[in-house]
Amino acid sequence: MIDENVQREIINHRSLRHPNIVRFKEVILTPTHLAIVMEYAYGGELFERICNAGRFSENEARFFFQQLISGVSYCHAMANFKSSCCSQSSVLHSQPKSTVGTPAYIAPEVLLKKEYDGKIADVWSCGVTLYVMLVGAYPFEDPEGPRNFRKTIQRILSVQYSIPDYVHISPECQHLISGIFVADPAKRITIPEIRNHEWFLKNLPADLMEENTTNKPYEEPDQPMQSNDEIMRIIEEATIPVAGARSFNQYLTGSLDIDDDMEDDLESDPDLDIDSSGEIVYAM
């Protein structure tokens, strides 16, 4: 469904110029889809690399986490949108009130459908990515039922996680993780505090060290790209209904509607529905 949110996210992504963020190239319209052409990331998805490796060493996890935090910090500095981070995808929103995503990465305050600070919620998501790199599993999945998404949500709300005995990480790394996985957003560590944490600063690449010192986000030089006018023209053309097209609702397989008192209702609410992919969508 092409609406103002799609338009806004495309325009926002077009403005991003950072070495740790996949660059926008152009928008094209096919007979059936509005397609976004992105920079080719030859290294593949982080999630795929984790799956192939099983899990990363602490030094390797730190290397990728430093890049992740640098990119997220840059997005926050842009102040135009909220970025939702996970190792598989990135979803941009201008108004942090509705949610689309995988439960494993979502902060408690977002699951509770309360108004929230997107920057602080991003810290939680980044922490999940760090944990997955170090452990090779999601922090809040039920070991006895990893595909039970209701259990995952319950464990997120109660911040129920642990570091397995077979995973040996430094006390400094454990300290950082414990500062990230805090249910109260007001007490959670912030991105600037992460960037000054002793574990994060160890073996920090020179370009990121300079970024930390100057407190100015690095931006790559401008490159020729589609104009905003051209993008808007293509998006407008994409909104014209195609004869015989199925309605958007026909593609939806299920949604999860969570009330503010979700802790009490998760098991009893017959309207809760999560499909096998674990994707949840909140319609506000």
Token pair in block for residue 87? 């190792």
- Residue ranges of alpha helices (H) inside 79-148 are 108-111, 118-135
In this structure, which amino acid lies at residue 6? V
Which domains can be identified in the chain, with CATH numbers? 4-217+226-238+250-281 (1.10.510.10)
- The pLDDT of residue 60 is 96
- Contact yes or no for 14/24 (Cβ under 8 A): yes
Distance CA 265, CA 255 (A): 16
- The pLDDT of residue 95 is 37
Mean pLDDT, the chain cut into blocks of 10 residues (284 residues total): 78 81 86 86 83 93 95 80 46 39 86 89 96 95 84 95 95 98 97 96 87 62 73 84 52 44 47 47 41
Q: Which helix (H) or strand (E) holds 238?
A: helix 228-238
- Contact yes or no for 159/77 (Cβ under 8 A): no
